[in-house]
Chain A
C-alpha cells in the first residue's frame, strides 16, 4: 500500500526568508502524481503545486517550487520570500496514475511565519 510521510510536525520561518518542507512516500508504481495542499485556518484545502512522476523537471508555481527525487521517493516543497499569508498547514499527497481517484495524504506540517 502507498504511504506518505511528513516528518516535520511544525516549522517556522522569518518573513521574506525561504523554508523547505519535507515529504517522503512509498509506492511500487512507476507512474503517479504528487501534490502539495495548503490548509489555512479557514480549513479550505487549496492546491499549491502538482508534480507528474514521469517529468524530471521540478514543478514551479511563483514562489513555490518542489525538489522531486524519484529514486529517493522524496518530494519537498520550497517556499521562497515567505509571506504572512503562507502560514498554514501543508499536506503532501500522492495519487496513482489512471482513474483510481484516491488521494493519500501525509500527516501535515504546520508552518508559522514570523514577522
Chain B
C-alpha cells in the first residue's frame, strides 16, 4: 500500500516549456488535491477533484491544468512554464472532502523554472 506517490521528485524546466506532474493514489479516495508551497510559505490549493471526471479551481489555478480520468490518477499540467511557478508541489487525497477527513499527502515534487 504505497499511499500517495508523486513523480518526479525533482525537475528543472526551462521557461516556456511544458510538463506534467504525476500523482497516483491507491487508497481508493474520491477527493484529490494539488497544492504548491513557495519557499518559507504555507501550501496553497491549485486545483482539486471530487471524483473521476470532475475538477475545480482552487486559490491559485492560473498557469495550470488538471484532468481526472480515473480514481487513482490526478496529473497536473504546467503550460508555458514561468519562473513564478518555481515551487514544491504536493498532491493529497482524502476520502470524501469532509472537514473531519484526514488528508494524506504525497512526498512532493520540487520544480525549478529557469
Contact = CB atoms under 8 A, between A and B. Distances in A.
B99 A105 contact: no
Contacts of B99: 31-33, 52, 95-98, 100
B81 to A, nearest CB: 21
Nearest to A89: B40
Given A101-B94, A101-B97, A102-B58, A47 B102 contact: yes
B113 interface: no
A4 B90 CA distance: 19
A5 to B, nearest CB: 10
A108 to B, nearest CB: 5
Contacts, number: 63
B42 A4 contact: yes
Interface residues of A, number: 28
A103 B48 CA distance: 11
A105 B35 CA distance: 11
Contact of B98 (A42, A98, A105, A106): A98
A93 B107 CA distance: 18
A105 B96 CA distance: 19
A43 B108 contact: yes
A113 B71 CA distance: 41
Given A95-B99, A99-B97, A106 B107 contact: no
Contacts of B74: none
A42 B94 CA distance: 21
A72 B103 CA distance: 26
A91 interface: yes
B108 A100 contact: no
A33 B107 contact: no
B27 interface: no
B97 A91 contact: no
Given A91-B43, A102-B48, A107-B40, A45 B105 contact: yes
A30 interface: no
Nearest to B103: A103
Contacts of A52: 99-100
B45 interface: yes
Which are the 3 A-B pairs with shortest beta-carbon distances? A105-B42, A101-B97, A45-B105
